[in-house]
Chains A and B, each alone.
Chain A
Amino acid sequence: METSKEQASKDYADFEEKVKRTIYIDQLSPQVKESAIKAALAQCANVVSVEFIVNYTIPYEIPCAALVELNDDVQAKAAVDLMNDFPFIIGGMPRPVKATHAKPEMFHDRPPCPGLKKDFCWVKQGDKDYEAMQKLKNLAKRQESENMALIKKLLEEEKELANRQQELLDGNCKKYDMLETLVQNGTMKNLAQRYGINLDD
């Protein structure tokens, strides 16, 4: 019994250490794979493991998130700082990822916290805790729906933003194409030559 307790607390300490050296990356493009994360983070840290967080709540494609375990907490700090300080892009455009330090609640394989005992029981109407529980329950419901609304709005805004960016990019691409054709087919050079000017200064 004692040993298992010790074991449990040791496990939990290990876990806490792991939490400290893990960062949580959000807004990942679905195309990003472990190798891309590893390479990107190699600039500031060594990636030990990557665990993608599966999205169970919304049957809808939202940006991925991942828990990335690094060598130590110094590196974790460096990585988080890096991504907070500058737009950090993994796997190409368009949008930077976000990072925070991981929290224990983010891990699905969280070991039980030693010394914390959980009991379950039914609360009936008329019990002294009933009112409070009811309130909590409602609050949870409300928060969930608000959360949904928030996500929905976010997604819509993102879509809008993406459209705008795409439009801008398309516009610029179009301009570039125009110029590129002109340059490629030698028209510009030709004319410049005839004018006797040097284009390239």
Chain B
Amino acid sequence: MMMSDDDDDTEPQLNAVESYYFVDPTDENEPVCFCTLPFRFGDTDDLPGCKKRLVLRGTGDPGVKVYNEVVAWRLVLEGKQPQLAVLTAEGRHWVRLIRPLKSYEEMIRTVLITAQMLHFLRRKPHEPEKTLWNHLCKVFNKFDVRPSEDDFRNHRSLMKQFAAKDPILAKSEILQVFLEGRSRKKFAEVGADHIDVKQPFITDDEDIDEMIVEDADNESDEEEDEDLFDSICAICDNGGDILCCDGPCMRSFHAKEGSGEDSYCDTLGYTEAEVEAMKLFLCKNCEYKQHQCFICGVLEPSDGAAAKVFLCNNATCGHFYHPKCVAQQLHPNNIDEASELEKKITEGFSFTCPIHWCFHCKGLEDRTQGPLQFAVCRRCPKSYHRKCLPREIFFDEIEEEGVIIRAWELSKRILIYCLDHEIDSDIETPVRDHIKFPKIEKPLQFVKGANLLRKKKKRTYSETVLEQPPKDTVKMKSKIRMQEREQNKQNTREVSAKSFTENPVDRPVKKKAKLKEKIQLPYVAKDHSVSSPKSVKEQEQELPSLPLSATRKTPPSLFPIVDSETEKRVITILRNKVSSLTIKDVTRNCSLPSTHVYSGRLTDKIPQGKLERSVQAVEAALKKLENGGSVNDAKAVCEPDVLRQLARWHSKLRVYISPFIHGTRYSSFGRHFTKVEKLVEIVDRLHWYVEPGDTIVDFCCGANDFSRLMKEKLDKDQKKCNFKNYDLIQPQHRFCFEKRDWMTVQPNELPRGSQLIMGLNPPFGVKASLANKFIDKALTFKPKLIILIVPKETKRLDQKRTPYDLIWEDSEVLAGKSFYLPGSVDLNDKTVEGWNASAPPLYLWSHPHWTKKHMQVAEERGHTCMGKIACHVEENNLSDDLPVRKQSEATKKWNSRSGKETTCNDRKANLLDGPTKKQARSEEEKETLGKIEHHVKEANIPDNLPVKKQAEASSKVISHSGKDRENGRYNSRRYDNRSRKWTPDHVESLPPEKQVEVAYVETKVIIPSKKITHKEQRGACRENRSSCVEETKSARYNYEKIAAAMSNMRSREGGDSDMSISPPVSSNARSKSMSYSPSRPIEHFDTTAHPDKYIDSVLNRAAHQDSCLAFNRKYDPIFTDIDDSSRMRGFSIEEVTKPYITAPTSDPYRLQSRGDGSFYRHPSSEDLNINADVHMQGYSARYGQNGGDSYPQARTVPLATDSQTHQRMHSGTSADNYLSTGYSLGSSGARFSQPASTVPCFGLPGASSQRGSSSVMDKYSYGLSGPTVPQSSVIDRYAASLDGTSSLPEQYPFRQSGSSRGGWPNI
């Protein structure tokens, strides 16, 4: 934090305040910025008339709450840190402000930044402006928006005061510049984000910033692609506006005439229009399939039987070699091996060229580690690790005279010319005669001839006065941007293009010379027709007209004849018209709203050649591995980054292509509306929180149903509210509608946050990017409540700058077909429904100011039991900021695997309050029990209804995809209530470590009361229940039993493939497993050791076991491991059930599991397990459904005690699960994936426990969404093919399209 208190306190009164914020004394709900107070310079505390007063609130030194009226503020710059203080109204002394309340910080952000800026300028008056920005960025890196000059805008007077009164700052030129506000241009170079957007001074720059940030993200992604491949011009070895060959060589060129001027590149000489028109660019080498050997430089055919040169098999390498040349280099000391290899290569054996190993140490490249990055020679197959690079190769930052620079930093590679090549000091590269294109009589001379050289030199003397034209900078813009982005990424990064190091005076001169040279090259004047100074548009216009003349000979058969005179006339008119149009106009007209941005635009940049090569390389690498090669060998062929790249491309393409394949779904701008019946449910829940006078804002109202329904409901309740609905597309119902882009709504257009309720279903965008944008925008209004339907990968609101508190979330209400695509009809003219493979949860978030009130409502209405409770709510306010931060860092570390920012607030918060929670817990437990009972009863009533009704109920229950369909068949309500029943147990969601301990204690506590509950119900639902119990029990016992039976992959596979019940296999496996783990046999004994207590109350025990099981599964590493083996249940269930039916009680398990838990309680491993559990959610839902669908006969079976049926069901499920298992295994370490795939195998109990636990687990799942997302996306594919029965075939790719959400709007 920026305000520090380093001097000692002598005064007895209040002198420093933490977590401060200011409110207006007249309205204490609204925080106000303290800079509205008068500013005092220096120590003067004589204040004449001060009318304006604010109330300072916060925590004083000893932890007392502060409530003081203040009248003025000051800023002291003398200390190590800028120091803010306010003058109290009574007593007139200064109170230091140490740290603002988190939610307040955003409000005073600009003051803080300005203060920091002044402080910096005062301390280091001679530092360049750039350092200042770096410093500010560093200090304020936690803000979403990086500091910019705009932040000073409102603090001119403050700056002026300092400039006038502070002697040091008075001299600061930078401050002067800021004061005048004219440094915009200069500064634009500093913040790459602002580089090409000249912001109007007074616009609301927040969204602009956001958008730019977004763009920058995209670009950086794109840039990553380029990093992997060669992205500098093959001719001049410089970056800029280059075109990549789509052929196997994968080289890039300055294709357009005039590009790459600063490196005197001769370019390929194409015109802009030619390049535009190219869909597939093949360089001459690839076009004629003649390539040069990278070692000897001879041009040879590279394709077919006549091939003399062969391509290296590395994915990113486009070099060809003579077998002989490369074999010699690969085996320099062994002639025999070399000749053997040569022979093999000639026969078509794939090889990896020497570039991919360090010339010095023979090690592999690792782009992620600086010292292991490669420096690759541009002229011969030689690479060095950064650490192995010969000292004679100098980098460009060495500014000594006479040093020949041979190395330039690229982002993750170094470009060198190794010592074998002589550098031409004029062009700063070796002589550019290295490229030979076929079909050109003499090898292309890219070098200037001796004559030219002389001429040029002459000019150098005569024309050195030339100023560097500003045009140059424009041309190099792209490069500069690239560099700057890089610089931002790593402040220390050197410039990536060597042209920067050139002497600026030299440059124009050289260019002149080069232009001259160009004219003499016949090669350049390739297209005479376009070399005339025509505008681009004309050329573009010409392009279509060219084919026109060609097709004229074959006009459409029946088309009326048009005389050529007329046609000419028309064409002239057209041309005139067309020339007045620019491509910019067109794109502007065609631009989609920011809310529905089409994300496919990047796909054009995926060069086919690279893709093909990568694909081949992947195969080659795998082959290599299968043939017994080492992983390093494979990596030399196809490095891991290539694989990642492919995965990225794959998802990009998928997003891009789906609209074409599923056109009907896209006549709606990719909008998805929530179905009215779902909205009704949401309204039912939300209206309790609404107070009269509130304004309800639907920021993306779609069909505008939500507000209507809300109004109906509120009118019934006699609550008068206002509504405001925004969307870009005017809906049929124009109730309180305004056609606006939500991003353009200004804060002053809506009432203050205390009366605002916002939200609902924003467009999601790829990886929830749009949803995040919408939410961020909504947060600027600081509404008291935000209700959201957003995918799970959306950034949670408790992770925002101003964290919101979760009142509840419900991941079930929107499962299944809750959405439809407006405006789209399928073949049968039915509205296309959106099927969401993974339902976006419904969240209710509250502004921290009003959390208590809302939580109360939630508790009164029992909403907290539906979804799950936000437990961090209180903690977040109470708990210290700093520890939380630290915790979060720690969590990040834990989850660094996922590569995503993790969000584990709940856990964090809980870690702090763990112990106290525990105590509070048992009390709360009792409270909730009442509720539970209620739920249970209610839920059980439908149990006695006919099956039909239950099916209906099941559709209402709405769970993840088809899960409850299965449940419904059994008795959906029962599971539902069970899940509810559990919820309270989990409500507290302690940190994993704690949970292991507490969980079991808890179960015990609950038991007695639960018993009562169950007894009460027994009469009502005895039959169903017992059947259920029997299943549960059997499965449970199976589970135990099989837990003891560690199965190996083979046997499972055998069993699954025919889905038959095969006891021998399992028993086999069981016996095997005995030897596996010492803990299992013990369990086994236990189960048989307590055979008799069982008789008593079957019901509650089953229930307990269930919950117990849930705990086990979640928190006990052992059990997650065992779960693995429980896949076996499918086959062995029959056998296992019976013997154990009368066997043990639940107690031993509890005991055991407790024991196991403690035994295995390594904090990290638990985390991993939780991790794993999170994965399960996704799968289980889907596979549960599969199981259900593939066994329709189960539906017809009455719900009686036919455990057989259920067992079959189980086997079905598990069989399907197996598929998932097989695949999921691949994607991450065994530790993760194994448990992940096991969950569904619980069959019924498993399923129900998932449902029960999901509420808790969900909470974690956000934090761990990294791993979740990937896995499920992988599985998606298989899911689609598996559950073909349940979904329309055309939904298949759509479902794939989102990363994890499957059928979610990608547009």
Contact = CB atoms under 8 A, between A and B. Distances in A.
Interface string B638-671: 1010011011011001101101101110111101
Contacts of B822: 39, 42-43
Given A36-B825, A172-B657, A188-B647, A164 B279 contact: yes
A174 B608 contact: yes
A199 B622 contact: no
Interface in B135-178: none
Contact of A157 (B280, B544, B618, B732): B544
Interface stretch (A16-24, A110-118, A129-137, A146-154): A146-154
Interface string B894-926: 000111100000000000000000000000000
A86 B571 contact: no
Contacts of B1227: 189, 192-193, 198-200
A75 to B, nearest CB: 7
B731 A92 contact: no
A173 B555 contact: no
Which range contains the number of B residues in contact with the other chain?
35 or more
A175 B659 contact: no
Interface string A161-201: 10010011101111110111011101111111111111111
B1164 interface: no
B590 interface: yes
Nearest to B898: A201
B611 interface: yes
Contacts of A175: 606, 608, 611, 649, 653
B1273 to A, nearest CB: 6
Contacts of A183: 650, 1277
Nearest to B1228: A198
B646 A182 contact: yes
B556 interface: yes
Given A74-B734, A198-B1270, A89 B618 contact: no
Interface in B582-614: 590, 592-593, 596, 603-604, 606, 608, 611-612
Contact of A152 (B559, B654, B662): B559
A182 B613 CA distance: 13
A189 B1226 contact: yes
A108 to B, nearest CB: 22
Nearest to B563: A145
Contact of B825 (A35, A59, A86, A164): A35
A82 interface: yes
Interface residues of A, number: 74
Given A75-B732, A172-B656, A39 B1270 contact: no
B659 A167 contact: no
B667 A169 contact: no
Given A58-B560, A190-B622, A197-B644, A90 B667 contact: yes
A51 interface: no
Contacts of A39: 667, 822-825, 829, 831
Nearest to A82: B729
Contacts of A149: 562, 566-567, 569-571
A67 interface: no
B544 A160 contact: yes
A61 B548 CA distance: 19
B625 A194 contact: yes
B1044 interface: no
Interface in B697-735: 703, 728-732, 734
A128 to B, nearest CB: 31
A188 B900 contact: no
B528 to A, nearest CB: 24
B583 to A, nearest CB: 14
Contacts of B654: 176
Given A93-B663, A145-B566, A184-B1277, A194 B631 contact: yes
Given A93-B666, A199-B1227, A168 B650 contact: no
B1271 A200 contact: yes
B945 to A, nearest CB: 37
Contacts of A192: 640, 643, 1226-1227
A152 B554 CA distance: 12
A91 B615 contact: no
B1266 interface: yes
A142 to B, nearest CB: 8
A60 B634 contact: no
Interface in A45-66: 45-46, 58-60
B621 interface: yes
B1223 interface: yes
A40 B592 contact: no
A46 B731 CA distance: 10
A85 B589 CA distance: 7
A76 to B, nearest CB: 11
Contact of B622 (A35, A82, A155, A187): A187
B306 interface: no
A196 B669 CA distance: 40
Specify which of B570, B654, B703, B1223 lies most central, judged by the most chain A CB atoms within 10 Å of its CB: B570
Contacts of A168: 279, 604
Contact of A148 (B562, B664, B734): B562
A74, A155, A190, most chain B CB atoms within 10 A: A190
Find the residue from B635, B649, B671, B1226 having the highest chain A CB count within 10 A.
Answer: B1226
A43 B1270 CA distance: 34
Interface in B1268-1299: 1269-1271, 1273-1274, 1277, 1299
A178 B566 contact: no
A54 to B, nearest CB: 16
A86 B593 contact: yes
B608 A59 contact: no
A35 B654 CA distance: 29
Interface string B663-702: 1101111010000000000000000000000000000000
Contacts of B628: none
B643 A172 contact: no
Interface in B277-295: 279-280
B279 A167 contact: yes
A184 B611 CA distance: 16
B615 A182 contact: yes
Nearest to A200: B1270
A144 B611 CA distance: 51
B574 interface: yes
B618 A148 contact: no
Interface in B372-406: none
Contacts of A92: 662-664, 666-667
Contacts of A8: none
Nearest to B665: A92
B625 A146 contact: no
Interface in B613-637: 615, 618-619, 621-622, 625, 631, 634-635
B558 interface: yes
B644 A199 contact: yes
A38 to B, nearest CB: 8
Interface string B786-812: 000000000000000000000000000
A41 B1267 CA distance: 41
Contact of A198 (B544, B590, B897): B897
Contacts of A156: 544, 547-548, 551
In this complex, the member of B560, B563, B592, B1225 whose beta carbon has the largest number of chain A beta carbons within 10 angstroms is: B560
B831 A189 contact: no
Q: Which 4 A-B pairs have the closest CB atoms?
A: A92-B663, A200-B1270, A189-B1226, A201-B899
Interface of A: 33, 35-36, 39-46, 58-60, 74-75, 78, 81-82, 85-94, 142, 145-146, 148-150, 152-153, 155-157, 160-161, 164, 167-169, 171-176, 178-180, 182-184, 186-201
Given A40-B824, A153-B548, 15 more contacts: A42-B822, A43-B732, A78-B739, A85-B728, A86-B728, A87-B590, A92-B667, A145-B563, A149-B570, A153-B571, A190-B1226, A191-B638, A193-B1226, A198-B899, A198-B1227
5 contacts: A171-B608, A172-B656, A176-B653, A187-B618, A187-B619
